[in-house]
Amino acid sequence: SQQGEEDPQALSIQEGENATMNCSYKTSINNLQWYRQNSGRGLVHLILIRSNEREKHSGRLRVTLDTSKKSSSLLITASRAADTASYFCATAGRETSGSRLTFGEGTQLTVNP
Amino acid sequence: KAGVTQTPRYLIKTRGQQVTLSCSPISGHRSVSWYQQTPGQGLQFLFEYFSETQRNKGNFPGRFSGRQFSNSRSEMNVSTLELGDSALYLCASSILTGINEKLFFGSGTQLSVL
């Protein structure tokens, strides 16, 4: 079963608007990562936030982490049609060894031109 | 620098057959992980190899196996294929093994079992 649950499952917005996706997880984590997947392709790493961090920025991306609520959010500002993709959160649990990640179910983002 | 390369891109097999998928990691990366992606189960971890040793294994039956060669290239094998094995199989590499490693994914092998 998936560690994370993402909300919403699908999101459709207009170009230039902001998109916010949420992720909840169940166990204690070392870090949380966000990945993007274009249809039928591999995943691309976007950002990693460690359990002792609360917020992180990378370009138009802003990620927050609330370990007390076991949740994270990904904000994409000024969205573009090229941002259309599925977005997944992935966690590395405290009990995890190696590079094993547990992925959420993903949010399908559609940005309309 | 070349990315993670997976071959073949598409594969069609019938039930009962076996299949071998190949993954070449980014040059210098020593860890290779495999994931299965299906519409119903999402992304599920299969196994991770580091320096030719299996580091982690997910909850898949013994029909799923893998190995890593001295040049870090990896293969995964699925024997006695079942319809439910139809999926996108993704390989990911990282420089080292560890919880803070960023994974670089290939484009995947789309396996269809008829």
| Mean pLDDT comparison of A28-32, A64-68, A92-96, highest-scoring range | A64-68
Chain A: which residues have CB within 8 Å of chain B? 2, 30-31, 33, 35, 40-45, 48, 50, 88, 90, 92, 96-106
Q: Which of residues A11 and A4 earns the better pLDDT score? A: A11
**pLDDT tens by residue, B5-43:** 999 999 999 999 999 999 999 999 999 999 999 998 899
Quick one: what percent of chain A has pLDDT higher than 90?
Answer: 76
Q: Cβ of A88 and B102 within 8 Å?
A: no
Query: How large is the average pLDDT for residues A19-46?
Result: 93
Amino acid (one-letter) located at A111: V
Chain B residues touching A98 at Cβ < 8 A = 31, 48, 50, 55-56, 97-99
- As a whole number, the mean pLDDT across chain B is 94
Q: Is the pLDDT of residue A1 over 80?
A: no
B3's enclosing H/E stretch is: none
pLDDT above 80 for A44: yes
Report the pLDDT value the prediction gives residue A4, as an integer from 0 to 100: 64
Would you place residue A2 in the very low, low, confident or very high pLDDT band (cuts 50, 70, 90)?
very low
Of B42, B48, B107, the CB nearest to A100: B48
With a CB cutoff of 8 Å and minimum separation 6, the contacts of B90 are A42, A43, B6, B34, B35, B36, B37, B43, B105, B106, B108
- For residue A3, the model assigns a pLDDT of 52
- Residue-wise pLDDT for B50-90, tens only, equals 999 999 899 999 999 999 999 999 999 999 999 999 999 99
pLDDT at residue A92, as a whole number:
85
Cβ B23 vs Cβ B91: under 8 Å: yes
Instruction: Tell me which chain B residue has its CA closest to the CA of residue A50.
Output: B100
Does B105 contact A at CB distance below 8 Å? yes
Average of pLDDT values for B82-103? 90
**Confidence band of B113 (pLDDT split at 50, 70, 90):** very high
| pLDDT, chain A, mean | 91
In the predicted structure, residue B102 carries a pLDDT above the cut 60: yes
From the CB of residue B38, how many other CB atoms can be counted at a distance below 10 Å?
13
* pLDDT of the residue at B96: 77
Q: pLDDT tens-digit profile of A51-92?
A: 999 999 999 999 999 999 999 999 999 999 999 999 999 998
